Amino acid sequence: MTYFDSNGPLRGMKRDLYEGGIRVPLIAHWPGRIRPGVESDHISGFQDILPTLAEIAGKGVADTDGISFAPTLLADGGPQKKHPHLYWEFYEQGGKRAIRKGFWKAVQRNMLRSPNSPTELYDLSQDLEEKVDVSAQHPEMVAEMKRLMDASHNDRMDVGL
């Protein structure tokens, strides 16, 4: 990890829920359809790939959490729908989960070992490297993020734990 420095200044690495583990750039090239040199701050997740490709192919997709980001890619794409929040959860290393809502990001580690483990809160508009936990200054946002994480959790994924 040190040699390649793939996460740059961002905290974390692959399978971490900090930005260094989940933030991935996307480069798209399609002459005549995607405007060259355009950058976007649209936030999406892997679940958005299938709906995007299906929309581009002129097909529909049913029963998915994903949202097509074709409008962001295409010059004539129209308005872009956005996720109200994005949620991640991993079971290794004692369990961990994270949620991103706007510029706010919450991370909870060791949740399987200790369901009431602390929830960290970061303001990514000011701290993209997630160095300063601001949970003590924003308890109302921590409570909201925990509520959203609880609502996003899928018990069907707990099989075999």
Domains and their CATH numbers in the chain: 44-82 (no CATH), 86-158 (3.30.1120.10)
Residue 128 is classified by DSSP as T
Task: Dump pLDDT digits (tens) for 12-32.
Answer: 767 688 887 878 788 899 998
Closest of 91, 114, 104, 102 to residue 139, by C-alpha = 104
Task: Dump pLDDT digits (tens) for 130-158.
Answer: 999 999 999 999 999 999 999 998 765 55
End-to-end CA distance of the chain: 30
Confidence (pLDDT) at 159 = 47
CB atoms within 10 A of CB 98: 26
- pLDDT-wise least confident of 90-94, 114-118, 143-147, 155-159: 155-159
φ and ψ of 49, to 5 deg: -65, -50
Residues 82, 40 contacting (CB under 8 angstroms):
no
Tell me the C-alpha distance between 93 and 149, whole Å.
18
Joined tokens for residue 90: 């991993």
Measured CA distances, 52 to 77, 84, 151, 155 (Å): 11, 18, 25, 27
Task: Dump pLDDT digits (tens) for 34-90.
Answer: 888 888 889 999 999 999 999 999 998 888 889 999 999 997 778 999 999 999 998
